[in-house]
Amino acid sequence: MKKSSILFTLLAMGITVAQAASVYTITLTSGERFTDCTIIYKSTNETKFSGKNKAGKVVTKKVSQSSIINMREVVKQEEEPEITPPATEAEPSAPAETPAPEAPAEQAPAENTTPAAETAAPEPIADGNIAQRAGEEKAADVTVRLREKLAKIDTEVAKISKPSQALLNQTRNVKERISRQLADMDQRALEIAKLQDDFNKAGADDFTFSKVSADERDRYVRDGQAAYQAMKIDMKEKKGRRKVGGLDKFEIMRDRYQGITEYKAAHDWYIKTLHDLQKKWTRMYDKETASRKRLGADKRQAMATVDERQYEELAAKLKEDGDDIASVWFVPQTRNLKMLSISVNKVKDAIRRNEREPIDKAVGTVPSLLQQFWSDMDSVRMAMVTGNLEGADEQIKKVPSYQIIMGLKQQLLPNEYRTPIREQYRETQQEITKRMREYRRLKASLERAISSLDRITSNAEAQIDSALAATQKELDADIGENTMEVVQDKPESETAPAEQQPAAAN
């Protein structure tokens, strides 16, 4: 029995659409998609357009050029132009040979429409899920066909002059049985239509990066550059106290922002400042030491006591601010030998540590890594929201920058910035997996429902076809008997020549 092939068109692939000139489909980085768009104005930096949003409402948007992922022109197929009859048809008095020169003019429209048809060739829809699974025919069409064939039984039986009792019993039983089944078929058809609609939309819902918003993507770079600018301001100051502040700010960069591109310049500036302070503080220390050597023992002891008291007072003030004098930079007093000694030793140690320790190869690479990561993630997201779940799954497994970012040292990218990236990556991966699972579930449910309805309708159609075949058999026999009666009623004169032919031969 012929299968109900119309059912399996519900899983049809590769639907195309016609497009129209000067109308666009625009997709933004936010995932928003606008159809039937017309451009109001467009500059190098921004575009203003009017189009329909997801809800079908006409809106006007002004967006930056960088936020437009795809702007595809839609060109609708034009209707074939009507061929204007030759002018000679309107002039009956024209000579017979005048149509000949008009022949090229008649062919012109056909020649002109050929390129137009080529340019208007439909393009595949970008939205993979909707385009590839856009079955629009409903399973209810099958039950409509069965009802039509069921009604045909009565029509065909009515053509028979004297239908047999066996035929009447067969057709009556088939009609009663199939009529009872049609309500169940209708319900199954509605369920298939609902499953088809859910299947068409499966996986193509919007998705937003909730762990790291668009504004937060470059937060690490912005924070690092702010620290660099603050360091530069302090380093440029002539006063020693501000210079020391610049050292503290660099050390914040060293601990947290080695990943930014400005770090190398900041490092060079830091080393230069350390050398400048070493010379200055060493000179002050040597001068004070020489001065005290000329004093008596009691005087030197008294000054040492004052040095100790001033040092303790400074330590107490720093502690109130939450700092430890042993670990932060401070400006030594010009005549305080203890402060000068500590500061000289500290600056020498800092120079030794920073010049000895090599700069990591990854220094300055984090901004480009982050930019590449989010570009890849935007591609993954676009595949998701257009229903290309397999493509999204493949892409997210091959984001090379992710593993590099996760392997960076704390000084290059602190956990404060790394953790949200890890969480966003995993959340996106989980969403893809969830959507693929739901897609497969809906696909299996749809195929089962289609297969079940196909079996039922095929069986019902076979019964109807059997009844129609039996009806046709009796109808053929009925027509045959009538034909024989007509032949027997013909006048003998019409058949005589055929009967006399053998006698003539004898």
pLDDT tens for each residue of 120-134: 333 333 333 333 333
More confident residue, 288 or 105: 288
Give CA 69 to chain center in angstroms. Answer: 10
Q: What is the pLDDT of residue 167?
A: 93
CA distance 248 to 251: 5
- Using DSSP, how many helices (H) and how many strands (E) does the chain show? 15, 7
197-217: average pLDDT:
87
The answer, yes or no, to whether residue 300 has pLDDT greater than 80, is yes
Q: What is the pLDDT of residue 401?
A: 94
Q: What is the pLDDT of residue 44?
A: 67
CB 211 within 8 A of CB 472: no
DSSP assignment of 119-154, as one string? HT--EE-S-HHHHHT-----THHHHHHHHHHHHHHH
SS3 203: coil
CA distance 229 to 245: 13
The answer, yes or no, to whether residue 2 has pLDDT greater than 60, is no
CA distance 247 to 465: 94
The answer, yes or no, to whether residue 238 has pLDDT greater than 90, is no
Which range of 25-34, 71-80, 231-240, 339-348 scores highest in mean pLDDT? It is 339-348
Which range of 5-19, 110-124, 194-208 scores highest in mean pLDDT? It is 194-208
452-470: average pLDDT:
91
pLDDT tens for each residue of 389-404: 999 999 999 999 999 9
Please give the mean pLDDT across all residues of the chain.
78
* Residue 305 structure tokens: 């006591």
The answer, yes or no, to whether residue 56 has pLDDT greater than 60, is yes
pLDDT tens for each residue of 402-421: 999 999 999 999 999 999 99
CA distance 161 to 153: 15
pTM above 0.75, yes or no: no
CA distance 85 to 87: 6
Q: What is the pLDDT of residue 40?
A: 80
More confident residue, 70 or 329: 329
The answer, yes or no, to whether residue 444 has pLDDT greater than 50, is yes
Percent of the chain residues past pLDDT 70, beyond the cut = 76
